[in-house]
Amino acid sequence: MAPAPTSAAYFDTEERPASVPLWREALVGLDWLALRASPVYYGCGVTRGDGAPVVVVPGFLGSDWYLLEMYYWLGRIGYRPHLSRIGRNADCLDLLLDRLLGTVEEARASTGRPVHLIGHSLGGMLSRAAAVRRPDRIASVITLGSPFRGIRPHPLVMQATTAVRRRIRNRGGNASQPGCFTPACACDAVSALRVPLPPSVPQVAVYTKTDGIVDWRVCVNDDPTADVEVSGTHVGLAFNPRVYSIIAERLGALTAGAARDRTR
């Protein structure tokens, strides 16, 4: 397995395959069943929200539909959830980021409050880019198996990425950015990934060492206060009951702190 980038090279622009156990992703159904059997899914014993806006962002090749369970759950526990409305996450990252920022603006306008972002895989990278672009609009970022330190996926995922790049080029794409949908692209979205998040935007990075899609080592900050390990699959991070508990706990702490600040 290729070494993960060091903290000094925060976002490695060289894309390399990783020897990750793709077969483990066949166990994603266990994550889904565990969620349905968990009291957390029904809002039992979790910190309640205060109506803060939260946008959920899908991963590579995905669309909002597979995050509907998280979306409805966030509403059940007291938040004002929003789907990303970026379409399928398989397009020029600059276009996807612009769509996400449009949703963020609408979510903020609906409450007058900064927006929390929860991004799965590539959706977490878009969420981080949004926070760099508009830190005044973002309250926090929670990433779920997001390779924000460099692209280290399973070789089959790399093949799918190549196919997406080819489709972007064939349709005319962004001619001014020949590296579109690559870690070396000079667009605003990728450029934003090369710098740390602003200090004003707290981040939580959830990861699993049994990730079958990407090397888990590129999904962490090397900060024990911000990195949280869970067991399960990469795809299943969107359904994992432990992930839901972490989201409720971290969002609850952040919104409580924000409420104290507003009353001072």
- Could you give the residue ranges of the DSSP H alpha helices within 38-154? 68-76, 93-111, 122-133
pLDDT tens, 30-65?
A: 999 999 999 999 999 999 999 999 999 999 999 999
pLDDT tens, 218-256?
A: 999 989 999 999 999 999 999 999 999 999 999 999 987
Residue 200 backbone dihedrals phi, psi, to 5 degrees: -75, -10
Query: Considering the chain, what percentage of its residues have pLDDT values greater than 70?
Result: 91
Q: Look at residue 93 and tell me whether its pLDDT is greater than 90.
A: yes
Look at 56-65, 125-134, 173-182 and tell me which has the smallest mean pLDDT.
173-182
* The overall pTM is greater than 0.85: yes
Packed helices 68-76 and 241-263: angle between N→C axes, nearest 10 degrees: 50
CA distances 161 to 56, 129, 168, 180, 225, Å, are 22, 19, 11, 11, 32
Confidence of residue 5 (pLDDT cuts 50, 70, 90): very low
CATH class of 22-256: alpha beta
Cα Rg of the chain (Å, integer): 17
Query: Considering the chain, what percentage of its residues have pLDDT values greater than 90?
Result: 80
Looking at residue 229, what DSSP letter applies? Answer: E
Q: Look at residue 9 and tell me whether its pLDDT is greater than 50.
A: no
How far apart are the C-alpha atoms of 111 and 107, rounded to whole Å? 7
Answer left, alpha or beta for residue 225, where phi above 0 means left and psi between -120 and 50 means alpha: alpha
Q: Look at residue 8 and tell me whether its pLDDT is greater than 50.
A: no
pLDDT tens, 61-80?
A: 999 999 999 999 999 999 99
Confidence of residue 12 (pLDDT cuts 50, 70, 90): confident
pLDDT (average), residues 196-200? 92
Q: Look at residue 174 and tell me whether its pLDDT is greater than 70.
A: no
How far apart are the C-alpha atoms of 33 and 21, rounded to whole Å? 21
What is the per-residue pLDDT for 259?
Answer: 63
CA distances 121 to 127, 203, 237, 262, Å, are 10, 14, 9, 33
Confidence of residue 184 (pLDDT cuts 50, 70, 90): confident
What is the per-residue pLDDT for 56?
Answer: 98
State the greatest distance between any 2 C-alpha atoms of the chain, in Å, as a whole number: 55
How far apart are the C-alpha atoms of 60 and 49, rounded to whole Å? 28
Q: Which two tokens mark 199?
A: 């200090």
Q: Where are the domains of the chain?
A: 22-256
